[in-house]
Amino acid sequence: MDTKTEHSVQTVETRDELDDVLATADRVLVMVRTTGCTICKSMEPILDIAAKATDATVVVFNPKHDLDAVEAFDVRSVPTFLLFADGDLIHRRADGFVPAEELIEFTESGSESDV
């Protein structure tokens, strides 16, 4: 797992690593992506902005080695954004490219379960 510096995006490679982040952070924004996804690649600078603009831990997760995570999180397209609070999935978004302001609003506003 990559080490996280304050306000940076983490990359996790396994479900166990993701679960560790979810267990230790209050609010986590996860972008589920695949290798070769051009929209996912274009979201990287937007994720950096969201990490700096919010208190959320921002994580990129490619479940290629943990396909059970695809089913567990009901991922049907990439990028899929998952918002967790206190380890619980509270909101999801899977509609392609998301501008920075919308992603920040999504990250900050998710308070009730919308999943």
The C-alpha torsion from 6 through 57 and 64 to 72, rounded to 10°, is: 160
pLDDT digits over 92-108, tens only?
Answer: 999 999 999 999 999 99
Mean pLDDT of 63-88: 94
pLDDT digits over 3-39, tens only?
Answer: 444 579 999 999 999 999 999 999 999 999 999 999 9
pTM of the entire predicted model:
0.90
What pLDDT, on the 0 to 100 scale, is given for residue 30? Answer: 98
Residues 6+ apart with CB under 8 A from 44: 9, 60
Q: What CATH number was assigned to the domain covering residues 10-107?
A: 3.40.30.10
Domain spans of the chain?
10-107
Amino acid at 16: D
| DSSP per residue, 27-94 | EEEEEE--TT-HHHHHHHHHHHHHHHHSSSEEEEE-GGG-HHHHHHTT--SSSEEEEEETTEEEEEE-
